[in-house]
Amino acid sequence: MYARNVSVSELQEIAALVPCEISADTAGNRVRFTLRPMGDNFRKWNPSPMDLEWCAGSAIVSDWKFRRANAVCFHGHYKFLEMLFDRNPAAIVDSSRYGKVRYTADNFKSAADDYGDTPLGTGTNIYAGFKLRDCCYCEIH
C-alpha cells in the first residue's frame, strides 16, 4: 500500500495500536508500507479445498481447510486505516492487491466495505464463494 500526507513514524504509531507489525519506507513523495500480523490477531487465513471433485468440467468442493497466511486480514487493515483517517484526515492511501482502490477520509468506509465484498474468484472458480472479509478468524469477523 502507498500513503501520502503521512509520515513513516505516524504509520508505525498506529500499527502499534492495532496491534500489527509494519514495514514502511519512503518512496518519492509517498510512504510504501505493508502490515504483518502479530500472533493470530488479525491474521488472514487462506481457504484450501480438501475434497475436490470434477463434474462436467467444473470443480465441486465439499470441504475446506484454512491455512495461516503471513498477512493481515481485511478487518485488521480496516481498523488500521480507520485509525489513520481519524488521526490524519488529509491522508490518502492507494492499494492494488485485488483491484485498484484509493482511500481518503471522505470515502474510506464505503470504499472499504465495497473492497471487503470483493470475491476471491469469479464465475465457476472454486474460490468465488469467498469474499476478502471472509478469510480470517479475528474477533471482528
- Residues 85-117 pLDDT 10s: 999 999 999 998 777 899 999 999 999 999 999
Q: Which of 87 and 49 is assigned the larger pLDDT?
A: 87
Q: pLDDT grade, residue 57 (50/70/90)?
A: low
Q: What is the pLDDT of residue 119?
A: 87
Sole residue written with cell 464505503: 110
Residue 27 domain flag: yes
Sole residue written with cell 509517498: 30
HSE-CB at 32 with a 13 A cutoff on CA atoms is 5
Residue 43 has pLDDT above 80, yes or no: yes
Residue 49 has pLDDT above 80, yes or no: no
CA 140 – CA 96 distance, rounded (Å): 24
- How distant, in Å, are the alpha carbons of 8, 56, 111, 119, 128 from that of 123? 40, 15, 23, 10, 7
> What is the dihedral angle through the alpha carbons of 47, 60, 99, 141, rounded to the nearest 10 degrees?
-40
Query: What's the domain count of the chain?
Result: 1
Residue 39 domain flag: yes
Residue 98 domain flag: yes
Residue 120 has pLDDT above 70, yes or no: yes
CA 39 – CA 85 distance, rounded (Å): 25
Residue 59 has pLDDT above 70, yes or no: no
Residue range of the domain that includes 54: 2-134
Residue 139 domain flag: no
Q: What is the pLDDT of residue 122?
A: 80
Q: Are the CB atoms for 128 and 120 separated by under 8 Å?
A: yes
Handedness of CA 4, 7, 8, 9 (dihedral sign): negative
Sole residue written with cell 488521526: 87
Cell representation of residue 129: 464463494
Residue 52 has pLDDT above 70, yes or no: no
Residue 82 domain flag: yes
Residue 140 domain flag: no
127: number of Cβ within 10 Å: 17
Residue 141 has pLDDT above 80, yes or no: no
State the average pLDDT for the chain: 88
Q: What is the pLDDT of residue 63?
A: 74
